[in-house]
A and B are shown apart, each in its own frame.
Chain A
Amino acid sequence: EPEVTQTPSHQVTQMGQEVILRCVPISNHLYFYWYRQILGQKVEFLVSFYNNEISEKSEIFDDQFSVERPDGSNFTLKIRSTKLEDSAMYFCASSWQNTEAFFGQGTRLTVV
């Protein structure tokens, strides 16, 4: 069964550093998303991406964040100048026609 894969599964970084979280969406999907979930809280939308551009973004997704689809398979989330409060589980998801989304297993980001 096709699945969304994310790497790394766990990333520890020092405050102020930049991190890149990587995702390989399901191959024939067209819509890509990043979400985050702070421990004990709900899943929060960050950004959606379609046709090589951002289609929607939340208030959380400020200038500290950026997304890129550098080639035909990868979809990345870059977080610049990380803060302690960026510690969370980051989920990538993809969907075929902007309907149900399928999630990767997540990257647990710990900022120390």
Chain B
Amino acid sequence: RKEVEQDPGPFNVPEGATVAFNCTYSNSASQSFFWYRQDCRKEPKLLMSVYSSGNEDGRFTAQLNRASQYISLLIRDSKLSDSATYLCVVMDFNKFYFGSGTKLNVKP
């Protein structure tokens, strides 16, 4: 059983599009949730933490539904620079579990 599952992707979208990524996690006792982005052959970089009340950072909005064990990320007005792999990450105690990632390609 995978601890964290994500949309398979890739998502190919034009500049300016709105795109949504979904993620589910298996452990209902998971404590913290994050979205990271990873560029090809680079380290994961924190995009945002995800809170039950939902949170927004500029063009990015993250939502958490604990009852459904579901996390989402919405990107509005996509830019070419948003092209990357987006990783859903769930923390259980001292372990971070990564999803396999969803690749986003933003085209001009």
Contacts and interface: CB of A to CB of B under 8 A. Distances in A.
Interface of A: 31, 33, 35, 41-45, 48, 50, 55-56, 58, 89, 91, 93, 98-106
Interface of B: 32, 34, 38, 41-46, 49, 87, 91, 93-101
A98 B95 CA distance: 9
B96 A33 contact: yes
Contacts of A44: 98
Describe A's contact surface by its main secondary structure. strand
Nearest to B47: A100
B99 A42 contact: yes
> Which 7 A-B residue pairs are closest in the complex by CB-CB distance?
A48-B94, A56-B94, A43-B98, A103-B43, A42-B100, A55-B94, A45-B95
Contacts of A106: 42-43
Nearest to B45: A103
B49 A99 contact: yes
